[in-house]
Amino acid sequence: MPMTRPKIVRETRRGIPETEPPGSRKLKPHQWFSTMEKELFEVRLRSSVPFDVYISSAAEKKVRDHAERYAAGRLEVLGFLLGEVCRWKGKMYTVVRDAATTELRSSPSNVRFAPNAYPKLFHQLDGSGFDYIIVGWYHSHPGHTCFMSRTDVETQRASFREPYHVALVIDPVTREVRTFRLTGEGCEETSFAIYAAEPRKSADSPRRRKLRLKPVVAH
């Protein structure tokens, strides 16, 4: 995959900053949360324990719009989650600031990036003006509910094996969203909150590292 000086990476090995997560007044549950999920969200919000994942309202909307655009044909969508990894009081958490995708080969039961689509994706990412890292991926299960299939777990294990790597699964038909991460056996669900995003300047992040990606496929 030819590319020039990409600004994002799929993993980070050092320099996880001690940063306070978005304040509780900025947080809200996902609009598709069930009553029980909202209650769990409120309990977590009142505790002093950070959520595992914070997703900007802009990134959340991008993912949801993408999934809904393809929902009529019951087609799956796929993309990357971009952001950063932080630490607060000994706990690591992931911030998803943006999402990016490219041409897809999609069906009702699986999806992958189109051949030769990566250069276009990198161009889009470089144009974002930020040096985000890839903190995970998203894909949709139109009408199948949200879970990690065997193929999904294999993808997670091959390309998103770090504890901060997020797998977001969205069902635009049943209107559900869940996030997962890799464990020893498979994947476990993680907590997440939506935060009201503030505009950032492109000079905010000094990161500039090497990009390595393996094929990503979802089922």
Beta bridge partner(s), residue 194:
28, 55
Site for Zn ion contains 218 (CB under 5 A):
yes
CB 186 within 8 A of CB 78: no
Site for Zn ion contains 109 (CB under 5 A):
no
Residue number with the shortest CB distance to Zn ion? 152
Cβ-based nearer residue to Zn ion, 193 or 216: 216
DSSP state of 120: H
User: Site size for Zn ion, by CB under 5 A?
Assistant: 4
Q: Which range in 29-37, 47-55, 146-154, 209-217 contacts Zn ion by CB under 5 A?
A: 146-154
Q: Which range in 11-19, 23-31, 112-120, 210-218 contacts Zn ion by CB under 5 A?
A: 210-218
Site for Zn ion contains 152 (CB under 5 A):
yes
Q: Which range in 29-37, 47-55, 144-152, 195-203 contacts Zn ion by CB under 5 A?
A: 144-152
Site for Zn ion contains 149 (CB under 5 A):
yes
Q: How far is the CB of 154 from Zn ion (least distance, A)?
A: 11
For residue 129, give both structure tokens: 């003006």
**Cα–Cα distances in angstroms (integers) from residue 60 to residues 66, 177, 179, 193, 198, in the given order:** 10, 10, 12, 10, 14
Q: How far is the CB of 176 from Zn ion (least distance, A)?
A: 13
Cβ-based nearer residue to Zn ion, 130 or 179: 179
E-state strands within 61-216 = 78-88, 91-100, 104-106, 111-113, 133-140, 166-171, 176-182, 187-190, 192-195
Q: Over the Cα atoms of the chain, what is R_g?
A: 16
Site for Zn ion contains 110 (CB under 5 A):
no
Beta bridge partner(s), residue 84:
95
Q: Which residues bind Zn ion (CB under 5 A)?
A: 149, 152, 218-219
